[in-house]
Amino acid sequence: MRPALISRVQVLDATLRLASEKGLSAVTMRSVATRLGVSPMALYRHVGDKQGLLDGLVERLMTEVAGAVENADEDWRVPLRGLAANMRRTARRYPDLFVLLFQRRAVTPGAVAARDAVYRALRAAGVAEPELDRLERMISTFMLGFAASEAGGRFAGIDADAEFRYAEERIEQLITAAVETDR
């Protein structure tokens, strides 16, 4: 038995900092280890392997997205906008890491939390059960695509905020239309 020098949380913290400062390509087992003052092989006990490290990173991204979204608001639009804002901010912070979200199902706690926030908003808006699933996926998919585009540079030269306000309006319009037809 021997006291642990590093923990899984520390490894992910250090990696996330490295990724936001120098991008995903700067994230190597060796560079992360150096940052923690430990040998590269020390990481393997805590994150499995490089893929495991990336998985851990992506889950942290999702909790960052889902975190701090107000819930019990009078207007269902508020938490939805908050989630979108979180998503865009996270994407800008980790542009090349963010696209990995397209490769994960919403099964980890963070991803589930983010999805549930959209669900709650849609329910509060009055969207009926049969349509809830699909509308949620459609909206989440658009948000993800928008944030990835903005952070990746696909929108270069365009006012992303104004662009998003337009899309936001259109989506809210879509939601209220769905509520209307259900009635």
- Residue ranges that bind DNA, judged by CB under 7 A: 1-2, 4-6, 27-31, 33, 38-42, 44-46, 49-51
156 contact choice in its own copies, DNA, none (CB below 5 to 8 Å, kind-dependent): its own copies
41 contact choice in its own copies, DNA, none (CB below 5 to 8 Å, kind-dependent): DNA
CB of 181 vs its own copies, minimal distance in Å:
10
Count H helices, E strands: the chain?
9, 0
Query: Which tokens go with 23?
Result: 């991008």
Smallest Cα–Cα separation from 177: which of 145, 135, 120, 140? 135
Task: Indicate the residue among 1 and 156 with the shorter CB distance to its own copies.
Answer: 156
**Contacts to its own copies by CB under 8 A:** 95, 99, 101-106, 134, 137-138, 141-142, 144-146, 148-149, 151-158, 163, 166-167, 170, 173-174, 177
Ramachandran region, residue 126 (left: φ > 0; alpha: ψ -120 to 50; beta: rest): left
174 contact choice in DNA, its own copies, none (CB below 5 to 8 Å, kind-dependent): its own copies
- Contact call for residues 171 and 139 (beta carbons, < 8 A): yes
How many Å apart are CA 60 and CA 56, to the nearest integer?
Answer: 6
